[in-house]
Amino acid sequence: MANQMKKKINVKQSNELTEAAYHLSLKAKRVLWLCLMQTYFSDDNDDASPVFNVAVSDYEDIFNISRNQASRDVKEGVIELSRSSILFYPKTGRNDIRALPWLAEAGGRSSKGLWEIEFNPRVMPYLYVLGNQFTTYSLRDCGSLKNPRTVRLYESLCQFRSTGIWKTSHEWLADRFMLPESQRSNSAELKRSFLEPALRQINDKTPLHVTYQADNNGKMIFNILPKSGV
């Protein structure tokens, strides 16, 4: 995978995964990215394997950190994924919410700097996307974002780049991003301690320029534009 990544460091993420509810640390999110990158390069989603190989050397190269730090980050990220669950909100079927553990199993070979990660088979349909229900973005564009919830906001904004407008609510953000109670219960605090600093980072470090406002019904409207010359 290393040669492919040198050419293009892209992630393809299903809209359902973008809209799911979970909170991962930056380390775990980066490990997930390394797996999603492999689905980007896959041509056969019907026989997709739930097993992904994550190399410490890839993490080191992409995120520009030392080998020792990369080794610690990957280990901690994998262990966090193994202990975490994700909530999906299906639009069809008997249930309108599904809680699933991310992984079935994970194993590491320290001497080789390699981890083998097996995802829960029920999560697999959300990792490999069908049709046009996905968003593609580059890790070069968002790799410098350090806050995991800022990363998730960026992913959500990327989903609406083509229309340039994303309308959502305080409640949706609080539920999907699993925000702390201080931001969940107070819209002013949400804006002060999450939205405004997150958008400053996104506007400074990514190809997007985003503004937002609230409408008369309290909905949040984000205006999404590409930066000039990007």
- Residue that wins the pLDDT comparison between 215 and 83: 83
Amino acid identity, position 95: N
At 65-85, the pLDDT tens digits run 999 999 999 999 999 999 999
Cross-strand partners of 11: 137
- Give the per-residue pLDDT at 86: 97
The whole-angstrom separation of Cα 24 and Cα 177 is 10
For every residue of 95-146, DSSP letters joined together read -S-EEEESEEEEEEEGGGTEEEEEE-TTTHHHHS--TT-EEEEEHHHHTT--
Q: What predicted TM-score, i.e. pTM, was given to this entire model?
A: 0.88
At 23-52, the pLDDT tens digits run 999 999 999 999 998 887 665 555 678 999
At 143-157, the pLDDT tens digits run 789 999 999 999 999
